[in-house]
Chain A
Amino acid sequence: MSQVEGRRPVELLLQVNGLTTYFFMKDATVRAVDGVTFNLGTGETYGIVGESGSGKSMTLKSILRLVPPPGKIIGGNIEYGGLDLLALSPAQMRLIRGREIGMIFQEPMTALNPVLSIKQQIMESLDTEGMSYQEKLARAVELLKLVGVPSAERRLEEYPHQFSGGMRQRAMIAITLARQPKILMADEPTTALDVTVQDQILKLIAGLKDSLGMSVILVTHDLGVVAQMCDRVAVMYAGKIVETADTLSLFSSPRHPYTIGLMGSLPHGRERGTKLRPIKGFPPDLTSLPEGCSFAPRCEFATVECREACPSATEVAPGHMASCYHTARLVEFKGIIEHADEEGGS
């Protein structure tokens, strides 16, 4: 019941400590997740935002221990319900997956089995619950209705290819929610969808979270999604969390150069003709990260000490952590919201 990472006391549902997952390839080791620590409270939507290669998706997979070889979770612990998920046997872990913690993915077409009907797939996820066929069927209908699929009874008989992208995502949510998990992990659930469909799916998830009393971990690269959905956010870069804060604080006063750089890259209500401020350089090579801070090669503020040792997380404000030696200098940087204020809300 710690209060370190929130502004108000919340009951902690999941505690991830020092999670480390490396991929051991023939000639190199990819440090995909490198000491990730965060907590998830009840009824909270926690966002993990980062670009490709940041380790955000692999973090989710590591929590459910779905890391494909040659990847291996080599460090840390994950506390859930008094258990360390990383110490469970495969059989025990299977009980956790789906029933306690569920996950939805980016590409519904590949996450759904194309040769099974939606009905079969939803009912299959209920197989372990000791329900009769009729009970499972009724629940399947109920679930499809819950996720907003019209004519649910009829559409149950259909196959994934007969569903549109948005519908498939709803179906996947229905399958995942079948056993009422306490935590829903969503790995870029709307990246492949049109903007109007994305709007519907995100609001659906938010609504379900409230009505079913779930917590959500939402992984995305889109800061707009973060702004609309998340209570708290972690920003990841090169396998590490570089900044954590509640959403409002992150958007109004970011305190890590990467976060600031990310926000500066976005066109948001600026005048036409002004240049965007992209982050210079290239994405990091996870097989050969530099000594010291991984972001230093691209950082405007990097100094000698940044290149020598990796900074650890410091608290820059209550509930707001950043891993940088220069957070004090960054106070002057305004985040996105200030800009929005200036133009009367973009």
Chain B
Amino acid sequence: MGRPESEPQKQTTLTVRSTIPFWKRSLALNIGVIILSLVFLVGFFPGVLARCNPNSHNPDLALQGPSRDHPLGTDNYGRDMLSRIAWGTRVDLQIGIIGMMVPFITGSTIGVLAGYYGGWIDQVLMRVVDVVVAFPFIVLVIAIVAVLGPGIFNLYLAISLVGWVAFARLIRGEVLVVKNLDYINAARALGYSDARIIMRHVLPNVLGSSVVFAATDVVSCMLAGASMSFLGLGVQPPIPEWGALISDGRVFMTSAWWMAALPGVALAITGTGFSLLGDGLADLLRTKGR
């Protein structure tokens, strides 16, 4: 059955692209997105939930439990808890997301360079990582803020100084794996510059796990911010930040539990939302296949 040319028929693709749309692939992702959509909605438009001015004092309404006018009660100054928590959403989201950004960018960059080039950059990086990782994240952040002084800027600075390490280590590991794959060798054999190889071939294939980690890192940053405010080292009053609200409510735990507990609940819900988002993204990445 000899034919003159060896390719008698053209090859078309074998597998159809996965027909499951991404909104059906991961339950975690869906729930996470729903929760976060609501949280972000409140963050952008606190007025959706907040009926009152979060800072207006009403001494005669102080320490009232949940009621129709004040569904989440009032604090010791008579401020509406619902409004304070609602307005605090924006603050905590900012701390979480902005706090995560700088470490994400710097850590990823350093990790990629260390992983790709190896050598002394990598050695130095690994030793630094070893040191930083020996301390719990919160402890280091507290220490730095204690030195620099309270305030939101110093909080961001402290988180940036400490948080990049986790990203660097994570992405470096991924780069070490990808570096030896044949498509990178092919790119080198084609004479592509290192910059091109890193940006177009390495980075797209390693960023995935970094992004997943970033989602959960938002939670860590939010908690760091809340802890700082709880200790009085973070956001300064009267800005309603959930950690600060919890701190305010601490002494009233037995008499007005809603002051401390409910901001905590808000924190937990938002944290869960981000965690689920991270899980969901990880699921998506996994099922995308080779």
Do A and B come together as binding partners?
A: yes
14 sample A-B contacts, Cβ–Cβ < 8 Å, listed by A number: A26-B20, A27-B19, A27-B20, A275-B2, A275-B6, A277-B1, A277-B2, A280-B8, A280-B9, A281-B9, A282-B11, A282-B14, A285-B14, A300-B1
CA distance A108 to B228 in the complex (A): 54
List 11 extra interface pairs beyond A26-B20, A27-B20, A275-B2, CB under 8 A.
A27-B19, A275-B6, A277-B1, A277-B2, A280-B8, A280-B9, A281-B9, A282-B11, A282-B14, A285-B14, A300-B1
- CB A346 to nearest CB in B, in angstroms, measures 21
- CB A115 to nearest CB in B, in angstroms, measures 22
**How many residue pairs at the A-B interface have CB separations less than 8 Å?**
14
User: Which residues of B sit under 8 angstroms from A27, Cβ to Cβ?
Assistant: 19-20
Query: Which B residue sits closest to A261, measured CB to CB?
Result: B1
Query: Which A residue sits closest to B8, measured CB to CB?
Result: A280
Q: How large is the interface on A (under 10, 10 to 19, 20 to 34, 35 or more residues)?
A: under 10
Query: For residues 26 through 75 of chain A, which have their beta carbon under 8 Å from a beta carbon of chain B?
Result: 26-27
CA distance A13 to B103 in the complex (A): 66
CA distance A282 to B12 in the complex (A): 10
Query: Which B residue sits closest to A276, measured CB to CB?
Result: B6
CA distance A50 to B96 in the complex (A): 56
CA distance A27 to B6 in the complex (A): 36
User: Which residues of B sit under 8 angstroms from A277, Cβ to Cβ?
Assistant: 1-2
Query: For residues 1 through 44 of chain B, which have their beta carbon under 8 Å from a beta carbon of chain A?
Result: 1-2, 6, 8-9, 11, 14, 19-20
Residues of B within 8 A of A (CB): 1-2, 6, 8-9, 11, 14, 19-20
User: Which residues of B sit under 8 angstroms from A275, Cβ to Cβ?
Assistant: 2, 6
CA distance A300 to B11 in the complex (A): 18
User: Which residues of B sit under 8 angstroms from A26, Cβ to Cβ?
Assistant: 20
User: Which residues of B sit under 8 angstroms from A280, Cβ to Cβ?
Assistant: 8-9
Main secondary structure of the interface of A (DSSP, over half): loop
- CB B7 to nearest CB in A, in angstroms, measures 10
User: Which residues of A sit under 8 angstroms from B8, Cβ to Cβ?
Assistant: 280
Query: Which A residue sits closest to B15, measured CB to CB?
Result: A285
Residues of A within 8 A of B (CB): 26-27, 275, 277, 280-282, 285, 300
Shortest 9 CB-CB contacts between residues of A and residues of B: A300-B1, A282-B14, A275-B6, A280-B8, A280-B9, A275-B2, A277-B1, A27-B19, A282-B11
User: Which residues of A sit under 8 angstroms from B19, Cβ to Cβ?
Assistant: 27
CA distance A252 to B19 in the complex (A): 46
User: Which residues of A sit under 8 angstroms from B9, Cβ to Cβ?
Assistant: 280-281
User: Which residues of A sit under 8 angstroms from B20, Cβ to Cβ?
Assistant: 26-27
CA distance A254 to B50 in the complex (A): 82
CA distance A263 to B269 in the complex (A): 64
CA distance A14 to B175 in the complex (A): 51
Query: Which B residue sits closest to A278, measured CB to CB?
Result: B6
- CB B43 to nearest CB in A, in angstroms, measures 36
CA distance A285 to B14 in the complex (A): 9
User: Which residues of A sit under 8 angstroms from B1, Cβ to Cβ?
Assistant: 277, 300
CA distance A282 to B8 in the complex (A): 13
- CB A333 to nearest CB in B, in angstroms, measures 11
Query: Which A residue sits closest to B1, measured CB to CB?
Result: A300
User: Which residues of A sit under 8 angstroms from B11, Cβ to Cβ?
Assistant: 282
CA distance A281 to B6 in the complex (A): 12
CA distance A277 to B1 in the complex (A): 8
CA distance A26 to B19 in the complex (A): 11
- CB B284 to nearest CB in A, in angstroms, measures 16
Query: Which A residue sits closest to B7, measured CB to CB?
Result: A280
User: Which residues of A sit under 8 angstroms from B2, Cβ to Cβ?
Assistant: 275, 277
- CB B51 to nearest CB in A, in angstroms, measures 47
CA distance A275 to B7 in the complex (A): 12
- CB B218 to nearest CB in A, in angstroms, measures 31
- CB B127 to nearest CB in A, in angstroms, measures 28
- CB B72 to nearest CB in A, in angstroms, measures 43
CA distance A285 to B2 in the complex (A): 26
User: Which residues of B sit under 8 angstroms from A281, Cβ to Cβ?
Assistant: 9
CA distance A59 to B87 in the complex (A): 64
- CB A327 to nearest CB in B, in angstroms, measures 18
Which residue among B1, B2, B6, B11 has the maximum number of chain A CB atoms within 10 Å of its CB? B1
Which residue among A26, A280, A285, A300 has the maximum number of chain B CB atoms within 10 Å of its CB? A280
CA distance A45 to B105 in the complex (A): 61
Query: Which A residue sits closest to B9, measured CB to CB?
Result: A280
Query: Which B residue sits closest to A264, measured CB to CB?
Result: B1
CA distance A280 to B6 in the complex (A): 10
CA distance A215 to B25 in the complex (A): 47
CA distance A225 to B19 in the complex (A): 41
CA distance A324 to B137 in the complex (A): 69
CA distance A282 to B1 in the complex (A): 18
CA distance A285 to B19 in the complex (A): 16
CA distance A284 to B9 in the complex (A): 16
Query: Which A residue sits closest to B4, measured CB to CB?
Result: A275
Query: Which B residue sits closest to A283, measured CB to CB?
Result: B14
- CB B148 to nearest CB in A, in angstroms, measures 48
- CB B100 to nearest CB in A, in angstroms, measures 34
User: Which residues of B sit under 8 angstroms from A282, Cβ to Cβ?
Assistant: 11, 14
CA distance A27 to B24 in the complex (A): 13
Query: Which B residue sits closest to A301, measured CB to CB?
Result: B1
- CB A298 to nearest CB in B, in angstroms, measures 11
Query: Which A residue sits closest to B12, measured CB to CB?
Result: A282
CA distance A231 to B191 in the complex (A): 53
